[in-house]
Amino acid sequence: MTPHPDRELATPDARDGIARSPARRRWLRLHGLIRKESLQIVRDPSSILIAFVLPLILLLLFGYGISLDAKRVPLAIVIEAPSQAASSIAGSFMESEYFAPRILRDRRAAKAALTEGAVDGIIVLRADFARRLGSPDGAPIQLIVNGTDSNTANIVIGYVEGTWGKWLEIDSLERGAPMASAVVAEQRVWFNAELRSRNYLVPGLIAIIMTLIGALLTALVVAREWERGTMEALIVTPVREGEILLGKLVPYFVLGMGGMALSAAMAVWVFGVPFRGSFLVLLAASALFMLTALGMGLLISTVTRNQFVAGQVAIIVTFLPAFILSGFLFDISSMPPVVQALTHVIAARYFVSILQTLFLAGNVWSIVLWNAAALAVMAALFLGLARHKTRKLLD
Amino acid sequence: MWGRIRTLIGKEFLAIWKDKKSRTVVIVPPILQLLVFGYAATFDVTHIATAVYDQDGGPAARDLVARFEGAPVFDPIVKLDRESEIAEVVDAKQVGLVVHVGSTFSHDLLGHPPAKVQFIVDGRQSNTALIILGYANAVLDSFNRDWAEAHGMSPAPASLVVRSWFNPNLLSRWFIVPGIVALLTLVVSIVVTALSVAREREIGTFEQLLVAPFRPIEILIGKSAPALLIGLGEASGIIALAVFWFGVPLRGSLPLLYLGLAIFLLSTIGVGLMISSLSRTQQQAIFGAFMFLVPAVILSGFATPIANMPEWVQVATVVNPARYFLEVVRGTFLQGMPAPLVLDLIWPMIPIALGTLGAAGWLFRHRLQ
């Protein structure tokens, strides 16, 4: 006989489980499981460390550590024969805030400095520079960069071209023959006018850090229960497999969201990254991503059923793939098509895109909704697979 | 003593090898990851989707637009009809560059130059944005040169000639792939070692090992040797792929590279074992592994130069073995770095290796309460 719901409410402390409605029984079971997991978390503080201390340390370290903005580039300027023109060019590099130049007399010392990595580039003004200046071919100025770090080399080339262009302009004015360009470019960098790489790297880093945390929090928990045999103990109780997973998910979800909030707050108040989207959208997207990351950890844990292997898998499939394939540092649209297709299985990719847009551009729905939908699909997939695997293991 | 060590090494190999899942995890992903990452990790920008909004439509404007269409790097090119579309395509990341030619372009160009053209880029990826601006300016420069020539304006008195050493075409793959060699070696050695002691502690077999007539140094060698061999083997595979698959030139001395590799591996194995013997549970060991691995990668100079970091972070990188090995790998591959310079980079890893291995050996016994 099914009890009347009103009666059920009237006697909330009834100990007789059979007398309760299925929904309430399910809730009580879930409540018990969540309580059990939460107690475990509190007793072994490593989860709390992972959720709060890890983002704090990593974000501080990376926020300051990762920067693509080369500043005060060490440069060697070789002046083979002193002349007024040569010192005028050298002067414009000395004055520029982008360079830390030193003047050398011969090329050999400069080349050694470049090989050692003591300078990032060499500017060579040859002995015949002053003589050939203004001749029909123009005097050649040689710039040699260390191509080992191609990205820095490109940045150095850009800086040198800029300083060089300015010198040409001033020089032509001084000679009374203004060398006007026909067309000048007006450059507009939207969303990040000063081109601070930190502004886009920090939101991306949050996605990487939360990937690690989500996987770390759950990758071992189910595996540990299997290893210790407590999973079997749980199974013989009337709880269902979905409830076991949900019971594990809820406390870690709360922890993970706490870490996320801390990271977002640090991005804005410590690193001064603008936040132009809405807080609610950030909250919703973070919740979806947290479910995906935790779901991945649960799946690893369920499939391996062994903490040792679960730990190894978690290290290998989370960190480097998220670091390299998420678009946080390396632009996805520049990757070969096959690799671009592969990036679709990296959950961090969607979250990086959402975070960069929310922080720097605002609520751009065409980006937010599409990526959020992808995250929802991945979360459902991971959690569904974890549940399916748990059920299969029971049979 | 050697007999005992050999037994221990055999046991450790067996522990890694007998578990099929663990075996697969240690061997397959690094090779796959090199292939994928080698292609994925690039700072080069290709196929820049470009939007052109030409309000002028005169012959000069059309000539400028045609130069963008002619440059293979700007692809595909879409034409916009309304100013409001600019925000739409940039916001939704549909294009990387917008070229906006205003309605007075021809008038300014012929009447009172300079005329203006606007380049709009997406700062959400400021590195990419900078590179795109560089390409766009190069197109504009070629337009200006031809215009100056055709209209009898005076040429520049001097010209800048750029040459790039060690990597003449500035391929970022040549920079990244040797870096990945260092990265994957680091990850593999940590994965193999970080859990090994913690697992045995949790199961209780480590106590048995300690009461058996083994000295800590023997246990240390037993635990390190398999990781060293696996690391060397795996790194060899990865180096071979870098050379033969990705075609990155290997110009320096291979023996020196292996010397650096072995010492680097010893230092990371030391860190892994230290984490493992400090941890009470495998969960803590995994946590410790991440706490080492992530900063070690980020602060190694793999993707972003150490020189760009603030002073205090640069100081902190001194204890990071990956930082030295990364320079050894890159120097050996691209620069053919002379031996004294390579040795200068190798020796700082020796105290790190000795310190971490020593600490791990000491912790074997003293961690036990």
Residue from B231, B233, B237, B245 nearest B173 by CA: B245
Q: Would you call B204 exposed, middle or buried from its count of C-beta atoms within 10 A (0-12, 13-18, 19+)? A: exposed
Residue from A107, A105, A238, A91 nearest A166 by CA: A91
Give the mean pLDDT of A267-279: 91
pLDDT in tens, A1-49: 444 444 444 444 444 445 568 888 878 888 888 888 888 778 777 778 7
Which residues from chain B sit within 8 angstroms of residue A157, using beta carbons? 162
Which residues from chain B sit within 8 angstroms of residue A172, using beta carbons? 154, 157
CB B241 within 8 A of CB B30: no
Are residues B199 and A308, on separate chains, in Cβ contact within 8 Å? Answer: yes
CATH classification for the domain delimited by A73-174, as one of 3.40.50.620, 3.40.1710.10, 3.40.50.9100, 3.30.540.10: 3.40.1710.10
pLDDT of residue B273: 93
Residue from A255, A273, A258, A243 nearest A216 by CA: A255
Which residues from chain A sit within 8 angstroms of residue B289, using beta carbons? 311, 315
- Spell out the residues 6+ positions from residue A5 whose beta carbon is closer than 8 angstroms to its own: A21
- Spell out the residues 6+ positions from residue B259 whose beta carbon is closer than 8 angstroms to its own: B346
Which residues from chain B sit within 8 angstroms of residue A324, using beta carbons? 37, 40-41
pLDDT of residue B283: 80
CATH of domain B48-150: 3.40.1710.10
Q: What is the distance between the alpha carbons of residues A363 and A280, in angstroms, rounded to a whole number? A: 10
Q: What is the distance between the alpha carbons of residues A279 and A301, in angstroms, rounded to a whole number? A: 32
Q: Rg of the Cα trace of chain B?
A: 28
Per-window interface: A 339-358 vs B, CB < 8 A: 339, 342-343, 353, 356-357
Give yes or no for a cis peptide into A178 (omega within 30° of 0). no
Strand, helix or coil for residue B321: helix
Q: What is the distance between the alpha carbons of residues B243 and B332, in angstroms, rounded to a whole number? A: 12
The DSSP H or E segment spanning B49 is: strand B48-54
* Tokens matching residue A272: 């001064």
Q: What percent of chain A has pLDDT over 70?
A: 92
Give the global pTM.
Answer: 0.82
pLDDT of residue B28 exceeding 90, the answer is: no
pLDDT in tens, B140-194: 888 888 887 787 666 667 777 888 888 888 888 888 899 988 988 998 899 888 8
Q: What is the distance between the alpha carbons of residues B64 and B56, in angstroms, rounded to a whole number? A: 11
For residue B58, is it left (φ>0), alpha (ψ between -120 and 50) or beta?
beta
* Tokens matching residue B57: 């439509």
pLDDT in tens, A170-181: 877 777 665 667
- Spell out the residues 6+ positions from residue A313 whose beta carbon is closer than 8 angstroms to its own: A219, A300, A304, B25
- Among chain B residues, the shortest Cα distance to A147 is held by B167
Are residues A367 and B154, on separate chains, in Cβ contact within 8 Å? Answer: no
- Spell out the residues 6+ positions from residue A369 whose beta carbon is closer than 8 angstroms to its own: none
Residue from A280, A292, A294 nearest A351 by CA: A292
Q: What does the domain layout of chain B look like in residue ranges?
A: 25-41+171-366, 48-150
Most confident of A44-53, A83-92, A183-192: A83-92
Q: What is the distance between the alpha carbons of residues B4 and B10, in angstroms, rounded to a whole number? A: 10
Q: What does the domain layout of chain A look like in residue ranges?
A: 33-65+196-394, 73-174
Average pLDDT, chain B: 86
Which residues from chain B sit within 8 angstroms of residue A134, using beta carbons? 157
The neighbour count for residue A8, using CB atoms within 10 Å, is 16
pLDDT of residue A1: 40
pLDDT in tens, B94-122: 898 999 999 989 988 888 777 889 999 98
Question: From the CA of B37, how many Å to the nearest CA of chain A?
Answer: 7
- In this structure, what are the phi and psi dihedrals at residue B162, rounded to the nearest 5 degrees? -105, 130
Strand, helix or coil for residue A270: coil
Question: CB pairs below 8 Å between A and B: how many?
Answer: 351
